[in-house]
Amino acid sequence: MTAELLTPGFRAGSVTSGLPLWTTPLRVAHVPGGGPPTPLLGSSGTFLPVKGHTMATVTYDQATRIYPGSDKPAVDKLDITIEDGEFLVLVGPSGCGKSTSLRMLAGLEDVNEGVIRIGDRDVTHLPPKDRDIAMVFQNYALYPHMTVADNMGFALKIAGVPKAEIRQKVEDAAKILDLTEYLGRKPKALSGGQRQRVAMGRAIVREPQVFLMDEPLSNLDAKLRVQTRTQIAGLQRRLGITTVYVTHDQVEAMTMGDRVAVLKDGLLQQVDSPRNMYDRPANLFVAGFIGSPAMNLVEVPITDGGVKFGNSVVPVSREALAGAEGDKTVTVGIRPEHFDIVEQNGAAAQSLSKESSNAPAGLAVTVNVVEELGADGYVYGTAEVGGTVKDLVVRVNGRQVPAKGTQLHVVPQPGETHVFSTSTGKRLTD
């Protein structure tokens, strides 16, 4: 039997406001023998868990969100299956639909078409409190009248967890997040970064079916951001809780995720492991977005045996070039670390055929700026390709950096050339 009681509780609206609604009905189950009633339903942020569901796969099945007054979907037929215990990162530029996708899973955005499942449950139209998720927002949503420790342990207190267990979980989370000395403070006495870590700790102690994190590190300073992202990834692996993480920082995505999903204009571009995405981007957008510094993308003419790259011909298979479908040019992608600097008769120069035997092999790059990072250096320069000036980035030995204003000749390393259709953007090479 269940009963509706006017009890201190929360409803979906408190997810966004972060403030308690003390007169909201909370559904409880009466315990045989006259014990205290226990909550049945739980949810996101500070809400209570739904019991009895152990599988935590997450499935977006053609999920679509169209905002009122707009004809263009913010999220368009999203298809992703996130495995139990997986750490998936949604990444893309501003406006690509990554946060909307996360809020659809949380129940904070309507789903106009398609289905979203957590395990074997269809949660498409369930309220946030019934989904057994914990969400960390970009803003803090802390209770201003509570201490850090009370904020972090409040959901467990509502659930009737023993005080000693609450204290232990809060202390463990505080240690991970470097908050131990702040447990007795209130949010107004914390910096922005510290408040964000408290919000993360509040989700961590809940141990829900799914963690949802919406750019949780955006307010942290650079050093703490690097430190915290490794801690989050390590914690997630230790807990084994399925996690969906949103960020605009592709370096963050590559270092944290088991898989990375890249979105653009509401459309899923590619979902793969960080290594596969780096080595085999599916299209021009992913190639230019993933990697820091970004991949060099140069439109070059197709010639006999391959493509013309400056004074050299880079071999490309006939099958790949056939995919250009009548285009006279293709777009070649080369990562900064996959260039060789050549001399006129050097080994790298001899590996490729040249159009003119009197000129150095490869593409001439004028050095504009050199970033010296210690072990490595990055040359930011310009090159003329087909009458158009292109910006290029080349990684060089950090101990032997070229002077500004000098000219380098570069060629791609064998097997490290990515070829894309100029007209469609699709990848042509295996």
The band of 2, judged by pLDDT with boundaries at 50, 70 and 90, is very low
Residues 6 and 101 in one domain: no
Residues 263 and 319 in one domain: no
Residues 332 and 408 in one domain: yes
Residue 111 within a domain: yes
Residues 117 and 170 in one domain: yes
Number of independent structural domains in the chain: 3
Q: Which residues of 202-238 are buried (b: 16+ CB within 10 A; e: fewer)?
A: bbbbbebbbbbbbbbbbbbeeebbeebbebbbebbee
Predicted confidence at residue 325, as pLDDT, reads: 80
Residue 89 within a domain: yes
Residue 131 within a domain: yes
Q: pLDDT by residue (tens digit) across 124-181?
A: 999 998 898 998 887 778 999 999 999 999 988 988 999 999 999 999 889 888 899 9
Predicted confidence at residue 351, as pLDDT, reads: 55
Which pair of structure tokens corresponds to residue 238?
């230790």
Q: pLDDT by residue (tens digit) across 344-373?
A: 445 554 555 555 556 677 899 999 999 998
Q: How far apart are CA 256 and CA 144, in angstroms?
A: 31
Residues 165 and 236 in one domain: yes
Q: pLDDT by residue (tens digit) across 70-128?
A: 999 999 999 999 999 999 999 999 999 999 999 999 999 999 999 999 999 999 999 99
Domain that holds residue 395: 294-421
Lowest model confidence (mean pLDDT) among 24-28, 29-33, 222-226, 378-382: 24-28
Q: Which residues of 64-95 are buried (b: 16+ CB within 10 A; e: fewer)?
A: bbbeeeeeebbbbebebebeeebbbbbbbeee
Whether 54 has a pLDDT exceeding 80, the answer reads no
Q: Cα dihedral angle (221, 227, 233, 238), rounded to 10 degrees?
A: -130
Q: Please state at what angle helix 192-204 crosses helix 222-239, rounded to 10 degrees.
A: 0
Q: Which of 279, 305, 335 is the last residue of a domain?
A: 279
Q: pLDDT by residue (tens digit) across 409-419?
A: 999 998 899 99
Residues 115 and 254 in one domain: yes
Residue 52 within a domain: no
Tell me the whole-structure pTM to 2 decimals: 0.79
